């Protein structure tokens, strides 16, 4: 066997590469680095992996559905707009899709990938909490290092009571923490007695929850909790009666501890945005004379989007054109804050079905994979953890789509590519060893 310099490419763990690309997404805006450089590196690694790979690519129904989803949306974008930002957006979709389709998750990379995700998530959470507790850490420290666009974003977020952002993107940390939290939870549930250092994993899960709480994004936190509940139901469904009793007891303890923690944080003033929301909600339900808008002006956007859809029901007004129809008072916004309404508004019923149907079929295929693995006599715990984590993330995004335009964010595509790789994992792929000639 002759050694060649190109032998390194098939050995590259593509899942870990995509994960590294995702968790470093914030640096482009924060430090003024051109995003195209990150995509160029991802494209180079992906192409070299494809060219010098000796095994055949494993094309499954999951991957084909994902390709259909990505290609349909790419076509809709280019039909609606062909400016630089639209082309860059399509490039993001295509590159992430190719990386997810040609790569498989191998057991040899999982430990390193999890630690990379864990370290970044814990450090990010620590940073968010530290800035909320001691704002001068940001104002007198990191603010001097980041780009002007990120300064404006962070200054406004802190003024409104949100947590600090990374990359001028308020949702970045939440997306990463959602992925890490769901993966950690499913590892705990899948391995049960076999898992070593359980306290560490429970600590990581608690860290995720606290981090999302301090970021102060209600939409992402709600989506995460709903996804966690779905994952819990599935995991309980494949547990023995004894394991279920133990899980219920642990759940009760966690709920009590969480309640005590929330009371403490609320009394300390860190949950002001949540408290204000609930006060307004209770006031509206109690028959207050003046009803308060609980949607943060989303109701106006939703009404406008639906009105535009009614005027252009078949093909919509064109991708990215909603902003042009906004009144001057809302001109600072550029989206509907609802994926489904924005798709109907901008791409009509045709575009809506071309995007949503493949997305639902990907979720259905994920459920099919979970059921197939569940029927196995000797289930692979890690495989179940990966598949159910993907299911949870898809549920989170489906829920989040009612309140936030996640589909319209470039970061979504890197995260979703990871989600597809988790869903498409098989025992054979996990144990795959690439042959190098």
Is the separation of the CB atoms in 75 and 31 below 8 Å?
Answer: no
Q: How far is CA 109 from the centre of its chain?
A: 21
- CB within 8 Å of 268: residues ≥ 6 apart: none
Where residue 437 falls among pLDDT bands split at 50, 70, 90?
very low
Task: Tell me which residue of 163, 198, 177 sits closest to 273, measured CA to CA.
Answer: 163
Q: Which two tokens stand for residue 223?
A: 């989506």
Q: CA distances (Å), 65 to each of 209, 360, 363, in order? A: 32, 10, 10
First to last CA, the chain: 6
pTM, whole model, 2 decimals? 0.88
Contact present, 369 and 62 (Cβ < 8 Å): yes
CA 225 vs CA 90, 109, 134, 177, 409: distances in Å: 31, 28, 28, 12, 22
Instruction: Quick: pLDDT tens for 262-287.
Output: 666 666 565 666 566 555 555 555 65
Q: How many CA atoms lie within 13 A of 242 on its CB side?
A: 2
Q: Which residue has the higher pLDDT, 16 or 162?
A: 16
Hey, where are the domains in the chain? 5-238+300-430, 240-294
For residue 345, pLDDT over 80 is answered with yes
Give per-residue pLDDT as tens, 352-367. Answer: 999 999 999 999 999 9
Rounded Cα gap, residues 368 and 371, in angstroms: 5
Identify which of 366, 372, 371 has the alpha carbon closest to the alpha carbon of residue 390.
366
φ/ψ of 166, rounded to 5, equals: -120, 135
Residue 46 has pLDDT above 80, yes or no: yes
Instruction: State the pLDDT confidence band at 291, using cuts at 50, 70 and 90.
Output: low
Q: What is the mean pLDDT of residues 156-175?
A: 72
What is the gyration radius of the CA atoms in the chain, in angstroms?
A: 22
CA distance 401 to 413: 14
> Sign of torsion, CA 70 72 78 80?
negative
Is the C-alpha dihedral spanning 202, 203, 206, 208 positive or negative? negative
Lowest mean pLDDT among 152-161, 253-262, 349-358: 253-262
Q: Would you state the pLDDT for residue 410?
A: 86
Average pLDDT for residues 157-184, to the nearest whole number?
Answer: 79
**pLDDT-based confidence at 331, cuts 50/70/90?**
low
Q: What share of the chain is helix, strand, coil (3-state, %, to 5)?
A: 75, 0, 25
Closest CA to 215 of 164, 155, 160, 273: 164
pLDDT band at residue 108 using 50, 70 and 90 as cut-offs: confident
Does 136 or 297 have the greater pLDDT score? 136
Degrees (nearest 5) of the Cα angle 319, 168, 226?
75
**pLDDT tens per residue, range 51-93:** 877 667 788 899 999 999 999 999 999 998 888 888 888 999 9
The encoded tokens of residue 275 equal 């408290």
pLDDT in tens, 378-391: 668 888 999 999 99
Name all contacts of 243-246 with Cβ < 8 Å and 24+ positions apart: 243/192
Q: Mean pLDDT for the chain?
A: 82
Contact 340, 352 (CB under 8 A): yes
Contact 114, 183 (CB under 8 A): yes
């Amino acid at each position: 066997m002759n050694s060649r310099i190109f032998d390194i490419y098939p050995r590259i763990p593509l899942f870990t590469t995509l994960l590294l690309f995702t968790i470093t997404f914030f640096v482009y805006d924060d430090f003024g680095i051109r995003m195209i450089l990150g995509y160029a590196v991802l494209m180079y690694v992906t192409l070299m992996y494809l060219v010098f790979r000796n095994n055949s690519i494993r094309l499954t129904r999951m991957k084909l559905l994902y390709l259909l989803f990505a290609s349909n949306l790419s076509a809709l974008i280019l039909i609606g707009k062909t400016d630089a930002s639209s082309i860059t957006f399509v490039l993001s979709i295509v590159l992430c899709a190719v990386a997810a389709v040609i790569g498989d998750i191998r057991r040899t990379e999982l430990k390193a990938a999890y630690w990379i995700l864990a370290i970044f998530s814990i450090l990010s959470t620590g940073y968010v909490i530290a800035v909320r507790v001691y704002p001068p850490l940001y104002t007198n420290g990191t603010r001097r290092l980041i780009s002007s666009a990120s300064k404006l974003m962070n200054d406004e977020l802190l003024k409104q009571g949100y947590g600090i952002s990374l990359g001028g993107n308020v949702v970045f940390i939440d997306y990463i923490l959602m992925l890490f939290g769901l993966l950690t939870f499913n590892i705990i549930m899948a391995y049960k007695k076999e898992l070593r250092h359980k306290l560490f994993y429970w600590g990581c899960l608690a860290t995720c929850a606290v981090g999302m709480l301090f970021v102060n994004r209600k939409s992402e936190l709600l989506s995460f909790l709903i996804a966690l509940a779905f994952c819990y139901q599935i995991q309980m469904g494949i547990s023995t009666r004894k394991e279920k009793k133990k899980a219920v007891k642990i759940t009760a303890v966690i709920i009590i501890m969480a309640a005590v923690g929330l009371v403490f944080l609320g009394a300390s003033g860190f949950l002001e945005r949540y408290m204000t929301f609930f006060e307004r909600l209770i006031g509206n339900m109690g028959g207050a004379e003046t009803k308060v808008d609980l949607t943060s002006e989303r109701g106006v956007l939703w009404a406008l989007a639906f009105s535009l859809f009614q005027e252009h029901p078949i093909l919509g007004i064109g991708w990215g054109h909603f902003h042009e129809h906004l009144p001057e008072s809302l001109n600072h916004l550029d989206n509907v804050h609802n994926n489904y309404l924005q798709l109907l508004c901008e791409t009509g019923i045709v575009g809506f079905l071309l995007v949503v149907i493949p997305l639902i079929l990907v979720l259905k295929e994920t459920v099919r994979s979970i059921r197939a693995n569940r029927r196995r006599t000797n289930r692979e715990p890690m495989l179940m953890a990966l598949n159910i984590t993907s299911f949870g993330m898809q549920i989170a995004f489906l829920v989040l789509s009612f309140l936030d335009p996640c589909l319209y964010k470039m970061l979504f595509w890197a995260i979703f590519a990871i989600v597809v790789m988790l869903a498409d994992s098989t025992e054979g792929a996990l144990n795959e060893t690439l042959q190098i000639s």
